[in-house]
DNA sequence: TATCTACTTTATAAGTATTCTAAAGTAGTA
DNA sequence: TACTACTTTAGAATACTTATAAAGTAGATA
């Protein structure tokens, strides 16, 4: 939970110019104790609701991708027509409800550590993601 | 590894009319001991190469979706612009190389059983999928 | 075998998410 | 204030997927 001057600092430190648009997106994404999941269109909607500024879709895409590159966001591997992002960048996993397309965190205490007894020559593991699909009982 | 008459039987049993197109797609997908991963465009390419028939994209999409519904294929949750399918319908997981967009199976003996100590009220688990992203060493 | 009907295929249009383009705008610096 | 490199923007372009509706075909029936 940071204030504008702190986002400005954070952006500058990452080598990103603190533009009006980037600061607004920071506020929408990070001005809360709770982390959350979103798609680009969710975010566009949130900005439209919350903000008095209008940010073009292209800028939203650009910003989200640079935030992801800087490690402020994580992309979640959900097989769907839309890409999901997570403001929780710690190592954790997800429940996915295909019905209402909702994601829920599974944090590390709620799942056993995953050990993989196989490797591919010349490759190293970059990430391990578990997606638990759920449906109505 | 089945022959045409067997695919005809298989399709008929599933309530799918054994059309020329569906039989050809069966041949391309299932005429091998090895299972494999593919995207729709991979499959379209394979059909073009292997076959003397021309099958429209719409039919390929329709057929793959009905095969998936019947349980002859599984969709793989890979975060990407394309949907991946697997002719291996047994329970297993995947390595994914984002560089060359290649998938590799991790079979059950190569990974510990995953136990999730959390549940969402009113929901039950449908599937558990592990995606291990790899990169060059 | 001829006919009928429901299911399929097809080309193409439409839809949706995302990226590209290049012109206008802006932050940081001198 | 002026300059330059970085950003934003609208809209075009692209890519994947689904919808449409007309023509074709499988299986059943007579």
Single out the residue of B131, B126, B39 nearest to residue B87, CA to CA. B39
Tell me which protein residue sits closest to nucleotide C9, measuring alpha carbon to C1'. Answer: B59
B10 and B71 in a single domain? The answer is yes
Any strand D atom closer than 7 Å to B23 CB: no
The answer to whether the CB atoms of A114 and B110 lie below 8 A apart is: no
Single out the residue of A52, A81, A76 nearest to residue A64, CA to CA. A76
The answer to whether the CB atoms of B134 and A124 lie below 8 A apart is: yes
Q: Considering the domain boundaries, does residue A112 fall inside one? A: yes
Q: Considering the domain boundaries, does residue A82 fall inside one? A: no
List of residues 6+ apart from B81 with CB closer than 8 A: none
pLDDT of residue B1: 45
B69 and B97 in a single domain? The answer is no
For residue B119, the enclosing domain spans: 91-134
B67 and B25 in a single domain? The answer is yes
pLDDT of residue A51: 66
Q: Kindly report the CATH number assigned to the domain that includes residue A23.
A: 1.10.10.10
B95 and B71 in a single domain? The answer is no
Any strand D atom closer than 7 Å to A44 CB: no
Q: Considering the domain boundaries, does residue A106 fall inside one? A: yes
As a whole number of Å, the end-to-end CA separation of chain A is 37
Q: Considering the domain boundaries, does residue B105 fall inside one? A: yes
B76 interfacial to chain A (CB closer than 8 Å): yes
Q: Considering the domain boundaries, does residue A44 fall inside one? A: yes
Tell me the average pLDDT of chain B: 92
Return the beta strands (E) in chain B as ranges.
Answer: 37-39, 74-76, 84-86, 93-97, 102-106, 123-136
A102 and A54 in a single domain? The answer is no
Q: Considering the domain boundaries, does residue B81 fall inside one? A: no
A70 and A108 in a single domain? The answer is no
Protein CA B9 to sugar C1' C19 (Å): 45
Domain count, chain B: 2
Q: Considering the domain boundaries, does residue B84 fall inside one? A: no
Q: Considering the domain boundaries, does residue A24 fall inside one? A: yes
A63 and A126 in a single domain? The answer is no
Give the pLDDT band of residue A99 (cuts 50, 70, 90). Answer: confident
B106 and B47 in a single domain? The answer is no
Cβ–Cβ < 8 Å for B106, B96: no
A98 and A49 in a single domain? The answer is no
Which position has the token pair 């592990």? B130
**Among candidate residues A31, A55, A76, the one where a domain is terminated:** A76
Query: pLDDT tens across B91-127, in order?
Result: 999 999 988 899 999 988 999 889 999 889 999 999 9
Span A64-93, average pLDDT: 95
- pLDDT exceeds 70 at position A65: yes
User: CA angle, corner B92, sides to A36 and B30, nearest 5?
Assistant: 120
A20 and A50 in a single domain? The answer is yes
B26 and B61 in a single domain? The answer is yes
Give the span between the Cα atoms of B125 and A97, in whole angstroms: 9
């Amino acid at each position: 939970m940071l204030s504008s001057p702190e986002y400005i600092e954070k952006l500058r430190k990452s080598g990103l110019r603190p533009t009006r648009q980037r600061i607004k997106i920071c506020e929408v994404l990070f001005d809360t104790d709770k982390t959350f999941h979103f798609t680009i269109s969710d975010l566009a909607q949130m900005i439209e609701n919350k903000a008095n500024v209008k940010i073009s879709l292209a800028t939203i895409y650009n910003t989200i991708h640079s935030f992801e590159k800087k490690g402020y966001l994580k992309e979640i591997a959900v097989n769907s027509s839309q890409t999901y992002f997570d403001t929780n960048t710690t190592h954790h996993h997800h429940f996915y409800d295909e019905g209402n397309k909702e994601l829920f965190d599974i944090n590390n205490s709620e799942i056993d550590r995953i050990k993989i007894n196989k490797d591919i020559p010349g490759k190293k593991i970059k990430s391990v993601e578990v997606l638990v699909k759920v449906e109505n009982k």
